[in-house]
Structure 1
Amino acid sequence: MNSANSKILESVCPMDCPDSCSLEVEIKDNKIHRIGGSHKNPTTQGFICTKIARFAQRVYSPERILYPMKRAGKKGSGKFERITWQEAAEIICHKFKQIVANWGGEAILPYSYGGSNGLLHQDTLDREFFARLGASRLARVVCAAPTTEVALSMNGKMPGTAFEDYVYSKCIIIWGANPKVSNIHLVPYLKKARARGAKIAVVDPKRNFSAKEIDLHLPVYPGTDLVVALAMIRFYHEINQLNWPFIKEHTRGIEILLEKARPYTFERAAEIARVKSADIEKLARLYLENDPAVIRVGWGIERNRNGGQAVAAILALPAVLGKFGKRGGGYTLSNSAAYKYDSRSVSSYPWNTRVLNMNHLGKILTREKNPPIMGLFVYNCNPVATVPNQKAVLTGLLREDLFTVVHEQVFTDTAQLADIVLPAPTFLEQTEIKSAYGTYALQYLEPVIPPVGEAKSNFEVFALLAHTMGWNDPVFRHCAEEYLQKIIKNIRGMGKNLSLEKLKQEKIEFFDFPDKIPIQFQNVFPWTSDQKINLTPAVLGHNPFHYSEIHSPYPLTLISPATEKTINSSLGEYNLPRLFLTINPRDAKTRGIKSGDLVKVYNDLAEVVVEARLSENIRPGVVAMPKGAWRRTSKNNLTSTALVPDHVNQVGGGACFNDARVEVAKVKGGF
């Protein structure tokens, strides 16, 4: 406690990030004064990203939604008027009952993603409500679906190498990830490993590390990671370096993998990936000759039509060389399966209605379905800013016959198009249990301030709606505490002594691994039926490891990487004032473009008008716009997702953001 009117309270960051930081929040005069990192979660190491350090700006934003509101003008006008919670609930339930009567429950679609990232406020009462209603189900696959499907099929989502064990690595490959902006607590371990002599290589179209920080940057063309990994496997086979004892004892499916790798010499892979063959060989030798070696497998790999195939080939690399069984060896992907929790284990109703892919929202809302979607309930996400084919999404949301509810903290692009807007609390205003997909900890957070305005949590909202619907089912009468108890009882992998009371007291519980951390093939093994790695998983389809090339009249590939400014689209209201396009000077020169020029980025789907910024950090043939930008940041109110086709990955149905092909031209004027 700093003074009579100041106190320090503990919290946890539940945002969509693998680090799951423990926080110290200073409350002064009953308001948030400062947010910093604590040492409760050892991975946090007492520091946090600037996004969360500045999160009080979101809490007290002038754009904060303080009360329930209903549309008071034409859709998209941004005109709303205040109503009470009871009025809002009655309007929503009346409309939902009408829709069910006229079109059936499947005409209502709940639309959510990872805005909560906790166990209480997603897949609890919301799931119960929509299952009871008979609504359509949503495939939440905008991110991580291909990697999840592949990891499950290959190794049962075996827990990966802990961040702190990277200091023991002699070779680290960061493939399709930028820890400097979306996994910052890995960075200190990279620096320590580097100081101890580790070789570090980065595979990414964009340079995110300096030459002093790494030994090799391989700027592969988006979508070609697959052929690079296959070329490495072919090389190891050709020079008789495959670890056959490990392969025979711990894997299956090697024959097909080797057959598919055979055509990819370094030269052929280099031609496809548009890099030097000598650099692919350098990467292959770095990984072969240094042990232990670890691969940080990022989600950037999956964001194209070859993504699932590529992830499988990359995850095969440590298996074919036997790079397991030591601290600092193996790979890290998502560790979310470590705590073995399935939200369906606490649900009361079967839910067997149709499943709609969230990446197809534009199609779903604008093309005839049977039944059509007449009611949309959006929470924990901002689809206008995050899913492909933005113009189709906007067209669908502007339908006058579509009833849209948005539960949100601030007036996002999606909230602006709602019929009813409901105020949501931030994580600093509600109770939650935070699981992790990077660190190995389960954490408890409780409010550090009361809800701002009349904000209600997801749990409270769906309890209110169920009551207003006239449902008296016992599940809707559970308080949050009772549901938390149900959740805790259904978590596995945390040891026998896990209890809600203990978690509340300690604020953090660690996974029950021997030696406290997982070491692949030493104290954790594949969670497959035979504890073997399936090198050719069935999810890859009838033609596994097939490379598919895009033929397009548009010569540039658009990527939308994460930035240090936002978490997906969260915090976009103040952290990204102007949208820009990063372009290589060579590509800019041929188009007569200079830094600061206004340019249009276009294809058959849309054009987006933004400012150009020239940089050698982006490879030729590729341009980049920040992920999750809001519409108002561009000159013409469209963002990168307007240029992204809504076809999906054959593995897991994931979005193919990096399949966007575009052209860029200079336009007159300025912002």
Structure 2
Amino acid sequence: MNNYIKEETGVFKSVCPLDCPDQCGLLLHKEDGRIVRVDGDPEHPVTRGAICNKVRNMTERIYDAKRLRTPLKRVGPKGAGLFEPIGWDEAIGTITAHWKELIADKGAEAILPYSFYGNMGRLGTEGMDRRFFNKLGSSRLLYTICQIAGTEGYKATMGGSVGIDPEDTVHSQLIIMWGINAVSTNMHQIMLAEKARKNGAKIIAIDVHHNRTGKWADWFIPLRPGTDAALALGMMHVLFAEAMVDEAFLEAYTIGSEELREHVKAYDPVTVAGITGVPADDICKLARIYGSTPASFIRIGNGLQHHDNGGMAIRTVSCLPALTGAWQHKGGGAIKSNSGHVQHNTRALQRPDLRERPTRQINMNLLGSALLELEQPIHSLFVYNCNPALVAPNANKVREGLLREDLFTVVHDLFLTETAMYADIVLPATSSFENTDLYLSYWHHVVQIQEPVIAPYGESKSNVELFRLLARSMGFAEEAFRDTEADMIRQTLDNESNPNLEGITYEVLADEKFRKASVKPLFPGRLATPSGRIELYSSSLKTRGLPPLPTYIPLPDEGAMFRFIPAPNHNFLNSTFSNNDKHVRMEKQPKLIMNKEDAARLGITDGDYVRVWNSRGACELAASVGADVLPGVVVSQGLWADDANGGKALVNSLTPDREADMGGGATFFSGQVNVERLDRQPERTA
């Protein structure tokens, strides 16, 4: 047994498991075997003891009375929530017996694993689970719901997920928060920006919603959804036209600058103002501030990539630092993701060699279609680290698929989630504080280990332990299924292709708990693009049928009144915490933020309940009327659990499940909706 578990009382180092760039170091205060307080670890080199309210109140989630204690078997209709407890032997036996029969009859591709990064520990998200499904030969899930479109777009420009060290942003002279509500989703970037601000830095926020970050910034620039690429191209027009580009940097480190110089002549400020809603004078002002500030930094958020044109939007914005040569100045450049700096050995962790033959791939954004429309149907769904009934786009279609009586569904989670309500077998999962796991941030460069602090809750099991049991029951004899967590961490960190991880081993982390990777600045240096340079002109995009130069491509028109942005809120993280009473009380209620001109036209006043609908579905929210969005735009915040609002705030019932321009990414923010005032308040269950 781990020593942390043996010690009933004390303070223990830990890691925040949430899908958040900050990945904070934590201190867990334990009394009589129970965590009683969660604090930040002041020794962590980046997060330095500061944590958000979501994590500070994590004990409310760990010891929530609704948490699952035993495996469950469905005894009523799907979706009715009628289950009875069973033992683990019966649960594992039922699952594997069903799968063996299904494989013999339909083939292993009739089984689909569905997961994401509800817990960012690498062993629990892409370790024993991937090994198991590779050996099983199931259909493969394409992990596209979050950042893939932007990753592909940024990669086309910069060669990979690499940017500046966030700790260097204290030296930034200009910080642009573009499409990111960092106050709610990247708080330590805000702390670093505050240090830069005290040194004279100016902070600009560009977004569709005057959110907490917009209110914190020195200058907030609102724009129409999906027009970010046009704004960036308008800035480029001014930079070239007014000779504010760094010609020496362009010559040394880029390709395509002359083609881009000619291309952006079409994006004059007046034209771009008509597209974006940003006044032409403000476009010029923004470009001049950016062009005249050597150490300018752009924090590129997830928001702009969740559109049909999301990959190109990120690609376009990522070209800006090259024009001014910002990369060569300390605190200058950009961050979209820094995961490439700490890239681990995914092959050793996931063991794709265990898969005997290629199998079909299914985009996780198209789950509804996959469950209802495939010629060779999915007959079993295994869900973990994710809650697709709440988080997947076109959610009504997803739930229709989950209702299929011939779909054998298993869910492994801490709670009886919206997805688990449709399951045949539900398995209780451990929290991260009950596991051993490895954590690699996609923002800072610190590698961390989590070791168990408390014993497993009830009969819950970790993903690693669960998939070992399933492998044994399926008769898989490979050594890969007997590896310990320590073995897997050693294998994961053994990555000769990434010298940044040199000296970071399991033994080092077990002793020190964290260590910063040795990451060098990008310039001078060679990138991982085909040319080794920043590619303002991308031949690789051209070969894929995409514009080789940054280009604005309008969003499709669905014919409804408003562009709809279902943004994250402050106290949940996707669906995590949405069913925990403390966090629901902090967030208060689901709202629809709309412009006062639109509200007046529709006879809606602040606080009225409104129906929001389109051809995919409908939900009911409270109107928040003001000037925080442009006319023609509405914004909701948060994914609210069904039991917190009677199931009437399911915003993903409205979102499209089209694929973005790159990587098959999600298009959550490209939908359109109609809005009308309700004469009654929706029924509420909590």
The normalised TM-score by structure 2 is 0.93
Equivalent position of 1:186 in the other structure: 189
SS in 2 for 1:665: strand
SS in 2 for 1:504: helix
Q: Distance in 1 between matches of 2:204 and 2:628?
A: 16
- Alignment counterpart, residue 387 of structure 2, candidates 353, 362, 382: 382
CA contact (8 A) 2:313 2:552 kept: no
- Alignment counterpart, residue 522 of structure 2, candidates 501, 520, 523: 520
Equivalent position of 1:463 in the other structure: 468
Q: Distance in 1 between matches of 2:265 and 2:376?
A: 48
CA contact (8 A) 2:621 2:649 kept: no
Q: Distance in 1 between matches of 2:205 and 2:463?
A: 40
1:292-311 per-residue CA deviation (whole Å, 9 max, x = no partner) reads: 11111111110111111111
CA contact (8 A) 2:166 2:444 kept: yes
1:47-105 per-residue CA deviation (whole Å, 9 max, x = no partner) reads: 10000000111111111111111111000010111111111111111111122122111
Task: Give the partner amino acid of 1:632.
Answer: D
Equivalent position of 1:609 in the other structure: 620
What is the correspondence of 1:225-264 to structure 2 with a 5 Å cutoff?
225-264=228-267
Deviation at 1:168, TM superposition (A): 1.2
CA contact (8 A) 1:68 1:85 kept: yes
SS in 1 for 2:409: strand
Equivalent position of 1:656 in the other structure: 667
Task: Give the partner amino acid of 2:512.
Answer: E
Q: Distance in 1 between matches of 2:619 and 2:667?
A: 19
Q: Distance in 2 between matches of 1:155 and 1:543?
A: 17
Query: Is structure 2 residue 124 aligned with structure 1 residue 127?
Result: no
Deviation at 1:495, TM superposition (A): 4.7
Deviation at 1:551, TM superposition (A): 2.2
- Alignment counterpart, residue 365 of structure 1, candidates 348, 366, 371: 371
Equivalent position of 1:509 in the other structure: 515
Deviation at 1:340, TM superposition (A): 2.4
SS in 1 for 2:567: coil
Deviates more, 1:419-428 or 1:239-248: 239-248
Task: Give the partner amino acid of 1:446.
Answer: E
- Alignment counterpart, residue 450 of structure 2, candidates 427, 445, 453: 445
Task: Give the partner amino acid of 2:536.
Answer: L
Task: Give the partner amino acid of 1:435.
Answer: L
What is the correspondence of 1:62-81 to structure 2 with a 5 Å cutoff?
62-81=65-84
Equivalent position of 1:500 in the other structure: 506
CA contact (8 A) 1:494 1:510 kept: no
Query: Is structure 2 residue 481 aligned with structure 1 residue 476?
Result: yes
Q: Distance in 1 between matches of 2:648 and 2:82?
A: 18
- Alignment counterpart, residue 554 of structure 2, candidates 548, 551, 558: 548
User: Which consecutive residues of structure 2, in runs of 5 or more, have no partner in the other structure?
Assistant: none
Equivalent position of 1:536 in the other structure: 537
Deviation at 1:395, TM superposition (A): 0.1
Q: Which runs of 4+ in 1 moved over 6 A?
A: none
What is the correspondence of 1:249-648 to structure 2 with a 5 Å cutoff?
249-346=252-349, 347=351, 348-350=353-355, 352-367=358-373, 369-490=374-495, 492-513=498-519, 518-522=520-524, 525-537=526-538, 538-539=540-541, 541-544=544-547, 545-574=551-580, 575-576=583-584, 578-648=589-659
- Alignment counterpart, residue 162 of structure 2, candidates 139, 152, 159: 159
Deviation at 1:122, TM superposition (A): 2.0
The normalised TM-score by structure 1 is 0.95
Q: Distance in 2 between matches of 1:638 and 1:277?
A: 38
Deviation at 1:474, TM superposition (A): 2.0
Equivalent position of 1:202 in the other structure: 205
Deviates more, 1:645-654 or 1:160-169: 160-169
1:4-62 per-residue CA deviation (whole Å, 9 max, x = no partner) reads: 97411110112100111000010012111100101232211211000000011111111
1:226-248 per-residue CA deviation (whole Å, 9 max, x = no partner) reads: 10011111222222333222112
SS in 2 for 1:434: strand
- Alignment counterpart, residue 174 of structure 1, candidates 168, 172, 177: 177
Deviation at 1:543, TM superposition (A): 4.2
Pairwise CA RMSD: 1.9
Q: Distance in 2 between matches of 1:374 and 1:256?
A: 51
Q: Provide closer, same or farther for how the CA distance between residues 84 and 259 of structure 1 changes in structure 2, counting only shifts above 3 A.
A: farther
**Total equivalences in the alignment:** 663
SS in 1 for 2:175: strand
Q: Distance in 2 between matches of 1:98 and 1:73?
A: 23
Deviation at 1:633, TM superposition (A): 3.8
Task: Give the partner amino acid of 2:653.
Answer: A
Equivalent position of 1:146 in the other structure: 149
CA contact (8 A) 1:605 1:642 kept: yes
Deviation at 1:529, TM superposition (A): 4.6
Q: Provide closer, same or farther for how the CA distance between residues 88 and 10 of structure 1 changes in structure 2, counting only shifts above 3 A.
A: same
